[in-house]
Amino acid sequence: MEMKCVMVRQVGDFEITRTPLQNPLEDEVLIQVEVTGLCRTDLKLIRVGHRDLVLPRIPGEEVVGIIRKMGSAVEALSSQARVKEIDTSVAGFREGDRVYVYPGVWCGNCPSCLAGAQNLCRSMRVMGFHRDGGFAEYVIAPAKSLIAVSPQLNAEQAVFAEPLSCCLNALELGDVGTGKTVGVWGAGPAGTLLHRAAKALGARPFNIDPDRRRAELIHGATSCPDTYFDVCIVAVGSKSAYEAAITRLNPRGRLVVFSGLSPADDQLPVSFNQLHYNEQTLVGAYGCSYRHGVQALSLIADGRVAVDDMISHRMPLDDLGAALEMVENRRGMKILLYP
């Protein structure tokens, strides 16, 4: 049997092709992709490559789908267990279940894994980067990476768990909590999710975006107060945004380095005396851990983070080229792809 997929053989190009359908290994499952989300990272990965990209590769790290086949060990566990658990236990999954795929595969034993930062696992394998992802009709994932999607969520809502998880990791590293003011640079899909998640955590977020229409979508007509923030999070890959954000920190403030920069923009002058005298912190944030996926799905399920109004386009996977151009030109908000 074959499946349709997007294949990147060399950086800068992709093709829509057919490839043999693989069988899951004993600890893996075969998932029929219902929907995948497109994000700027996919644009970067295809156009200019990425630190973690191993070619040839099927991209796609935001995946929700239905379990169609289980590896022998998963099958055995599943038939033994009758209770579904929301943890790394694979027991309880059945064929036909809707699952969200945490995109990382981690070792569980290294210092980062033991510290709860699976995204920094020294042998991290990321779906869509090191292993094939969801821009296809089917994807294979280890059972321990799956999170059950509760019946009150549809596939489109659940697929926001991946970008929202990355936002939750950033908010955690920024120590965002009740009463804190949060400046978010960017009002695209990530900036909007950061805003909504910060609010759900009891903080007071405000977005700064040169595209006023986008910022106004979040804030109504209010313009940005010319103030300082307890936490600044940069969700645009722009050097000037970082230069601005670092000047807007309160004493003890934290600047979260959420968006990567192109290699040409990577070096920024930072006043260490500013950090010294104001006891400020610079902290990086990259990806997310499994538990952020669990937290994200529950925030979406109980309505604390709304996602439905962020979907601007639903497109067939065959239109990936056009969809990438829209992401590049910042047209629309969240684009969902259907295989």
Residues that bind Zn ion (CB under 5 A): 106-107, 110, 113, 121
Listed in sequence order, the residues at least 6 apart from 308 whose beta carbon sits closer than 8 Å to its beta carbon are 156, 157
3-state SS, residue 279: coil
Q: What are phi and psi of 35, to 5 degrees?
A: -155, 145
Q: What would the 3-class secondary structure string for 159-176 be?
A: CCHHHHHHHHHHHHHCCC
Pick the closer one to Zn ion by CB: 145 or 280: 145
Pick the closer one to Zn ion by CB: 111 or 316: 111
Closest CA to 124 of 139, 146, 109: 109
Pick the closer one to Zn ion by CB: 6 or 113: 113
Helix residue ranges, H only, the chain: 40-47, 72-80, 111-114, 155-158, 161-173, 189-200, 212-219, 239-245, 272-278, 290-301, 320-328
Q: How far is the CB of 53 from Zn ion (least distance, A)?
A: 20
Pick the closer one to Zn ion by CB: 122 or 304: 122
Q: How far is the CB of 143 from Zn ion (least distance, A)?
A: 18
C-alpha pair distances (Å), 102 with each of 48, 275, 276: 24, 35, 38
Q: How far is the CB of 114 from Zn ion (least distance, A)?
A: 8
Rounded Cα distance between 209 and 215, Å, is 6
Pick the closer one to Zn ion by CB: 106 or 242: 106
Pick the closer one to Zn ion by CB: 121 or 184: 121
